[in-house]
């Protein structure tokens, strides 16, 4: 098997696994079902991943890398008013949640499920979350330099608050199948990110 085919099959397994995890959770995703959905021969899984846990870690790392890249590109897209850019990012995320019928994101789906079962996956979730919060912190510091955000706001604490507020609202929106918790979270963000 050449390198390109190996990489493509591996990525295809990760793509398929992510979709199945969003539907059924990590524990609900059986390896036989994954291989059947991905149309990969039985027994091939362990050729690419030593265990289901390693697969889970790599799936989360890949998910957070893409999430982080989207966030960074969105925040870097405009040089003016970083405060508004952060708010706009979450506002467009609200629209995405409506369009996807609250399918949720992988971090919301797996956070409560795997943290007590897999230390390696918990660490992947934590590292991914920390990277996102660091990017938010930088955006908030930039907003303070631009005079768009109060200097009294602790940017690191605020970034953590925004991230956890949105994560909790995402979970609640998934539970009630309504975007009201996300909308409420967004309004609270506008209050937290005060200008003076």
Task: Write down the residue that tokens 């199948």 correspond to.
Answer: 177
**Looking at residue 99, what is its pLDDT?**
53
Burial level of 109, CB count in 10 A (0-12/13-18/19+)?
buried
What span, in angstroms and rounded, lies between the C-alpha atoms of 188 and 49? 42
**Looking at residue 181, what is its pLDDT?**
94
**Looking at residue 80, what is its pLDDT?**
75
What span, in angstroms and rounded, lies between the C-alpha atoms of 114 and 140? 31
DSSP three-state, residue 162: helix
Calculate what percentage of the chain has a pLDDT beyond 70: 91
Domains recognised in the chain with CATH numbers: 1-49 (1.10.10), 52-192 (1.10.357.10)
Low-confidence ranges of the chain (pLDDT < 70): 1-7, 96-104
Say if CB 98 and CB 170 are below 8 A apart.
Answer: no
Phi, psi for residue 115 in degrees, rounded to 5: -60, -35
What span, in angstroms and rounded, lies between the C-alpha atoms of 162 and 185? 9
What span, in angstroms and rounded, lies between the C-alpha atoms of 73 and 37? 32
pLDDT, tens digit, 9 for 90 and up, residues 65-91: 999 999 999 998 877 789 999 999 999
**How much is the pTM?**
0.87
What span, in angstroms and rounded, lies between the C-alpha atoms of 8 and 44? 13
pLDDT, tens digit, 9 for 90 and up, residues 91-109: 988 876 655 554 558 888 8
């Amino acid at each position: 098997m050449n390198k390109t085919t190996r990489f493509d099959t591996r990525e295809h397994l990760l793509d398929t696994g992510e979709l199945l995890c969003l539907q059924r959770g990590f524990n609900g995703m059986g390896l036989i079902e994954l291989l059947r959905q991905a149309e990969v021969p039985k027994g091939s899984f362990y050729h690419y991943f030593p265990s289901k846990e390693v697969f889970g870690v790599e799936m989360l790392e890949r998910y957070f890398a893409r999430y982080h890249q989207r966030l960074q590109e969105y925040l870097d897209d405009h040089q003016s008013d970083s405060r508004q850019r952060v708010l706009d990012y979450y506002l467009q995320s609200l629209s995405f949640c409506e369009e996807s019928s609250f399918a949720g994101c992988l971090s919301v789906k797996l956070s409560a499920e795997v943290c007590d079962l897999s230390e390696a996956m918990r660490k992947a979730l934590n590292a991914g979350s920390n990277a996102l919060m660091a990017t938010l912190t930088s955006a908030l510091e930039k907003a303070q330099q631009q005079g768009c955000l109060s200097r009294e706001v602790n940017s690191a604490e605020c970034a953590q608050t925004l991230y956890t507020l949105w994560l909790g609202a995402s979970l609640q929106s998934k539970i009630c199948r309504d975007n009201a918790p996300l909308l409420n979270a967004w309004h609270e963000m506008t209050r937290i990110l005060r200008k003076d």
